[in-house]
Structure 1
Amino acid sequence: METTVSEVEDNHPGYPLSLRVPLTLTAIGATLIETIDSTVVNVGLPKMMGGLDASVDEIAWVITAYSIGNVLMIPMTRFVSDRIGRKKYFTVSILLFTLFSYLCAVSTSLMWVVVFRLLQGVTGAAFFATSQTLLIEAFPKEQIGLANALFAVGISLGPALGPVIGGYLVYHETWPWMFYINVPIGIVLTVMSWRFVPDSPYAIEKEETDFWGILLLLTGVPALQTFLEDGQRFDWFSSPLIRICFLIWIVSLPLFVVRQFFARHPLIDLRVLKNRSLSAGSIGLFLLGTVYFGTLFTVPLMGQSLLGWNPLLTGIVLLPGILGFAFTSMLVGGSMGKLPLFPILLLGVTMVEISLFQLSSISPLVSPDAFFWPLMFRGMGLACLFPPIMTLAMATLPRQMVASGAAIVSMMGQLGGAIGIAVLATLMQRDAQLHRSYLSANLVPSGVTLNERIDRLTTLLAGRGMSWEEARKAAVAMINQSLDGQSLMLTYGNLYVVVGTVALVLILLVFLFEKTPLSHPRRTRTNLLSPQTGGTPEGS
């Protein structure tokens, strides 16, 4: 009889408190430095362009390389962990991540920064799935929800703190400090990992290497990530590079999936997807990745491109919502096993929808304070979704399959974010052009044409002392600025509607998860005590 994470009689009481606390700090700390490092660089790209003498297209590879390494390695975390031991794998990954951070900081050429960022992504991939597995093992069954809430806090605080830290360091120091900051933290986490992280009791030590699976993954994932991240920049299928990447991943990744289902020793055991709750959770994390990273992409971009925010202000505006997420996650995590989870999921979707509705109707003339409640609702709503979905995804898995399940849901969350951002970036460019064309043709309700409007402004400015030529240029610039602002505002409003539609699909997950003591605690407890059930928990 296999023991599942949520089983009523669980023979795994969790680790002693003396081990659980430092292990939790190590797991969350590793997750934090990975998520911070994945976003801290974004605000420093302009400074890096100057320091490394790179163009916009060239410097973008600093971000793309990290994403490729990260998504490439996540599916292989369980395999590598089993082969060399989880303690050794996790510790060495933190140590190498720290080393590559230092090497990024001291690099003087773009090529080496990109190489070390790729290796950073590869080593950082160990943190997500392994940290979640460690937390699930560390806590007793009645606190699995709290473990997943702590993990959710770790993966959500980083993207909010990254822009704040990056903005401060870039403003007060030089760009290498975005990487130097990881070094002391990484050294401390390396020591803690070696001291407290245990090897997995479920490791398969003599597993054969799935070379075909590795080959298909090595070709398919970089091609998919390049296709998603650079497709918009190269105008999608008009670029030979994007067409080649599309052909590579559309062949390699389906073959990889087929291979994993039928291989004797698969690289990542996709057969765990036969578990209904894990499949539902994987879909949920994919959609949540789209909602979470989609709004994390659009809100800062809107603030900086339309409202004139600097990177530091952008991070400060995002911070209250993330703190609301952290606080609500603790409440939700503590309530798991005591309150039904499905109403919490519905509350989360409702709050996210309210947030997106408020964001879609914001005026370009508002102050940063106007974003407080929309982003607070966003954070609290996501906090009602992330921990329950992650918990329910793992709830009916045998403990020896948790590592494979964690790798799958981590990968799905990353892919959801990457695909969501790619789609939103494409829609943003297309909609901005459409809205600008429409506004140009219908500039004012009275039917005054664009040229007539420019003539009136030119006359007005010329009457204030400008030459006719200067007044004409100033009038055109003012009209263009107004059109750009209005078209972008309408575009961002449409993007929030798209993200809101994706969030609505999460409601369907309520009907896909299996009913467990975690999802229906009171109902299950009643069934256990009922003489008619004979003490057998009922799933309905």
Structure 2
Amino acid sequence: MNPPKNASAPAPLVGWQFALGTFAVALATFMNVLDSSIANVAIPTLSGDLGVSVDEGTWVITMFSAANAVSIPLTGWLTQRVGQVKLFVAAILLFVVSSAACGLAPNLPVLLVARIVQGAVAGPLVPLSQSLLLASFPREKSSSALSLWAMTATVGPIAGPALGGWITDNYNWSWIFYINVPVGLFAAAVIWALYRKSETPSRKLPVDKMGLLSLIVWVGALQVMLDKGKDLDWFNSPVIWALTIVALVGFAFFLIWELTEARPIVDLRLFKGRNFLGGTIAISVAYAVFFANLVILPTWIQEYLGYRAVDAGMVTAPLGIFAVLLAPVMGKVMPKSDVRMLATLAFLGFAGVFFMRSLYTTDVDPYTLVLPTLLQGIPMALFFTPLTAIILSGLPQEKIPAAAGLSNFARIFAGAAGTSLMSTVWNDRTILHHSQLAEQTSVNNPAYVHALAGIQTTLHASLFKAQAFFETQLSAQASMLGLNDVFWLSAVIFVVIIPLIWITTPGKDGARNAAGAGGH
């Protein structure tokens, strides 16, 4: 049963306003999601221009992620305090200003401050875009709204590395931030013009200062710990131990405080709903595996296959082809289907793709690299939209921003954690395989001696150079075997988490319930 209409919710747009408003909201989402990954490939160039090490340069990513992670779950509270449309437009404009400040930064400290602001104001953009898209579509087309959002949310991280590499190689790293200025100004102007007369009600709410402080402490500590764990050798570092203790104590305090606070800044009671709980855990674990592989694969391609940054980005770009082409199809299929079955097919599709990648070898050709990436676009189209429909189904209008914010926080934070954990697994498995392969490099092993002799003859090299060349090949093989293990583990995880989908209860009207949650 759908909740009654909320008279103050934004009315669905029609005609040219419908098309333009939808495009502007999607553009703002794309701008935000794109910026979460576009700086990754520019870090070496950026670090050199600012006169800092690459390790110091990675704080540009860490600070954005930490600030973004803190602000996302505050969306529900901020929406009630400011109003949905005002908050969305203000976040876009502040994102534009902070982006310009990033591009103009003369040194690393100024750039880090600008990135912190940029990450903080970006937090509400993704969850509010879901709510506004649901509001701008007629109720019968709510599945199309969620499909469009999923398309922009998935294409951004895919396009980011390729676009960032191209801009950095051909222009200057500052332009990866400057491109947000015209895009953001256009989106803010259109959204304000079309939505300002249908603003959601706002009210002055007391600030849960203790909840906010504890959220900042534990999320910030955990984000920095995850980002810097590998560089600092994890728990062999006292810094990582300190960050972990702060994160655990802060999280425990946060849970207790927010569950007992009358007006919590983050509504954790949403997890009492079976659909929200199951859908959020499923999408978070799945996104963690997906995003981790999206980071690891280009890294391996550049380090061990010798691809340029822009070429490595192009290898992952085909992922968006089927995701875009099938988005309109999903809008038509979802209202007639059990969304749990669609999500199950997506997880099985992901498992198949990662199993294909687990068969890679060190001499893999471009076609074999690209084919699984292209096919991965099919489960991508079946992934976000059904699970988002499950998460938001049956919720009243006033709960939508908070639910979208909390579920997106869990998803994005899981992506960061998954990347750190999978990178560690890859590193550990690579060390193990290297050790096992190195056991065969003995002068008492005829195969090893014969291989060295062959290298010396082919390369006209000395024994020392032949041994160095062999070690390089051995390291590449160990890395390949470690990556195969990561791909295989990813396939298994996608199969194992399928039951999470089936603890939820939507039937064929899952998407329509989500639309009802939009209050129109």
1:496 counterpart residue number? 487
The SS at the match of 1:512 is: coil
1:187-202 equivalences in 2 (<5 Å): 187-198=185-196
Offset of residue 140 of structure 1: 3.2
Match of 1:315 in 2: 313
Of 148, 151, 158, the match for 1:150: 148
Q: 1:393, CA displacement in angstroms?
A: 1.2
Contact 1:349 1:503 (8 Å CA) reproduced = yes
Partner of 1:487: 478
Offset of residue 277 of structure 1? 0.6
The verdict on how the C-alpha distance between 1:94 and 1:474 changes in structure 2, with shifts beyond 3 A counting, is same
Aligned to 1:456: 453
Q: Is the 8 A contact 1:339 1:520 kept in 2?
A: no
Q: Distance in 2 between matches of 1:124 and 1:221?
A: 16
TM-score norm. by structure 2 comes to 0.92
What's the offset of the Cα at 1:275? 1.3
Greater relative contact order structure (CA < 8 Å, 6+ sep): 2
Q: Using a 3 Å threshold, how does the CA distance of structure 1 residues 453 and 28 change in structure 2: closer, same or farther?
A: same
Between the aligned partners of 1:426 and 1:364, the Cα distance in structure 2 is 21
Paired AA for residue 505 in structure 1: V
Which residue among 142, 165, 168 is the counterpart of 2:166?
168
Alignment CA distance shift 1:425-1:394 (3 Å): same
Question: Aligned partners of 1:393, 1:183: CA distance in 2, in Å?
Answer: 33
* Residue in 2 that maps onto 1:247: 245
Contact 2:11 2:198 in 1 (8 A): no
Among 448, 453, 473, the residue aligned to 2:464: 473
Supply the distance in 2 between the matched residues of 1:516 and 1:330 (Cα, whole angstroms): 21
Query: In the alignment, is the contact (CA less than 8 A) between 1:52 and 1:109 conserved in 2?
Result: yes
Q: CA deviation at 1:491?
A: 0.7
Deviates more, 1:407-416 or 1:335-344: 335-344
Correspondence for 1:46 = 44
Counterpart Cα distance in 2 of 1:90 and 1:369: 42
In the alignment, what sits opposite 1:531?
Answer: none
CA offset at residue 2 of structure 1?
Answer: 7.0
Q: 1:193–1:458: structure 2 CA closer, same or farther, 3 Å change rule?
A: closer
Residue in 1 aligned with 2:139?
A: 141
Quote the Cα distance in structure 2 between the aligned partners of 1:365 and 1:135: 45
Q: Which moved more, 1:97-106 or 1:201-210?
A: 201-210
**2:349 equivalent in structure 1:** 351
Q: Describe the shift of the 1:12–1:115 C-alpha distance in structure 2 as closer, same or farther (beyond 3 A).
A: closer
**Structure 1 residue 204 displacement after superposition:** 5.2
**TM-fit CA distance, 1:107:** 1.1
User: Secondary structure, in 3 states, of the residue corresponding to 2:62?
Assistant: helix
State the AA in 2 paired with 1:516: G
Amino acid at match of 1:296: L
The answer to whether the 8 Å contact 2:38/2:176 transfers is yes
Is contact 2:143–2:511 with CA below 8 Å preserved after alignment? no
Q: 1:518 maps to which residue?
A: 509
Partners of 1:86 and 1:198 within 8 A in 2: no
* One-letter amino acid of the structure 2 residue matched with residue 346 of structure 1: T
Q: Is the 8 A contact 1:288 1:386 kept in 2?
A: no
Residue type matched to 1:479 in 2?
Answer: F
Paired residues of 1:285 and 1:416 also in contact (CA < 8 A) = no
Partner amino acid, structure 1, of 2:483 = Y
Q: d(CA) in 1 for partners of 2:463 and 2:71?
A: 56
Alpha-carbon separation, structure 2, partners of 1:217 and 1:476: 53
Write the distance in 1 (CA, Å) between the matches of 2:34 and 2:302: 20
Q: 1:122 to 1:12 in 2, by over 3 A?
A: closer
RMSD over aligned Cα, in angstroms? 2.5
- Tell me whether 1:29 sits opposite 2:20 in the alignment: no
Which residue does the alignment assign to 2:516?
A: none
Superposed CA deviations along residues 374-402 of structure 1, whole A, max 9, x for unmatched, are 11222211221211011111112122211
Asked if structure 2 preserves the Cα contact closer than 8 Å seen for 1:13 and 1:141, the reply is no
| Aligned AA (1:482) | Q
- The answer to whether the 8 A contact 1:132-1:406 is kept is yes
Deviations 1:431-485 (A, max 9, x none): 11110110111359x94375x45763575369x4x5xxxx133212211111011
Q: 1:459 to 1:69 in 2, by over 3 A?
A: closer
Mapped contact 2:83–2:200 kept (Cα < 8 A): no
> What is the distance in 2 between the residues matched to 1:4 and 1:395?
14
Alignment of 1:13-92 (within 5 A): 14-92=12-90
What is aligned with 1:415? 413
**Rounded Cα–Cα distance in structure 1 between residues aligned with 2:345 and 2:191:** 37
**What percentage of aligned pairs have identical amino acids?**
27
Query: 1:202: how far off?
Result: 5.6
How big is each residue's C-alpha offset from its partner over 1:276-309, in whole Å with a ceiling of 9 and x where there is no partner?
A: 1111111112112112202201221121112111
Distance, in Å, in 2 between the alignment partners of 1:228 and 1:515 is 35
Q: Give distance in 1, aligned partners of 2:201 and 2:256.
A: 24
Residue 292 (structure 1) aligns with: 290
For 2:477 and 2:302, locate their aligned partners in 1 and report how far apart those are by CA, in whole Å: 15
Q: 1:380 corresponds to which residue?
A: 378
Distance 2:472 2:280 in 1: 43
Q: 1:367 to 1:499 in 2, by over 3 A?
A: same
Question: How many residues matched?
Answer: 510
With over 3 angstroms needed to count, the CA separation of the structure-2 counterparts of 1:239 and 1:155, relative to structure 1, is same
Matched, 1:370 2:368: yes
Q: Where does the alignment leave 5 or more consecutive residues of structure 2 unmatched? A: 514-520
Per-residue CA deviation, residues 317-338 of structure 1 (Å, 9 max, x unaligned), is 2122212112223312321111
Q: State which structure, 1 or 2, has the greater radius of gyration over its C-alpha atoms.
A: 1
Structure 1 516/443 Cα, relative in aligned 2: closer, same or farther at 3 Å?
same
Structure-2 change in CA distance of 1:461 and 1:140 (3 Å): closer
**Kept in 2: contact 1:213–1:260 (CA 8 A):** yes
Amino acid at match of 1:484: S
State the partner residue of 2:404. Answer: 406
Query: Judging changes above 3 Å, is the alpha-carbon distance between structure 1 residues 275 and 53 closer, same or farther for their aligned structure 2 residues?
Result: same
Give 1:311 shift: 1.4
**Residue type at the aligned position of 1:287:** V
Write the distance in 1 (CA, Å) between the matches of 2:183 and 2:96: 8
Contact kept? 1:356, 1:496, Cα under 8 Å: yes
Are residue 259 (structure 1) and residue 257 (structure 2) matched? yes
Bigger mean CA deviation after superposition, 271-280 or 136-145 = 136-145
Q: Is the 8 A contact 1:290 1:499 kept in 2?
A: no
Distance in 1 of aligned mates of 2:10 and 2:59:
45
Amino acid paired to 1:28: A
Residues 231-290 of structure 1 show CA distances to partners (whole Å, capped at 9, x for unaligned) of 111011222221111111101122212222221111121212211111111111211211
Q: 1:455/1:279 Cα in 2 relative to 1: closer, same or farther (>3 Å)? A: closer
Which residue is 1:534 aligned to? Answer: none
* Structure-2 residue corresponding to 1:208: 206
Contact 1:14/1:140 (<8 A) preserved: yes
Partner AA of 1:460 in structure 2: T
Whole-Å separation in 2 of the counterparts to 1:411 and 1:297: 19
In the aligned structure 2, how far is the partner of 1:267 from the partner of 1:383?
Answer: 33
- The equivalent of 1:177 in structure 2 is 175
Cα distance in 1 for residues equivalent to 2:284 and 2:197:
29
Q: SS at the partner of 2:206? A: coil
Distance 2:346 2:233 in 1: 36
Letter of the 1:477 counterpart: A
Which residue of structure 2 aligns with residue 439 of structure 1?
Answer: 437
Q: Is the 8 A contact 1:289 1:416 kept in 2?
A: yes
Unaligned runs of 5+ in 1: 6-10, 525-540
Return the alpha-carbon distance in structure 1 between the equivalents of residues 184 and 328 of structure 2.
Answer: 26
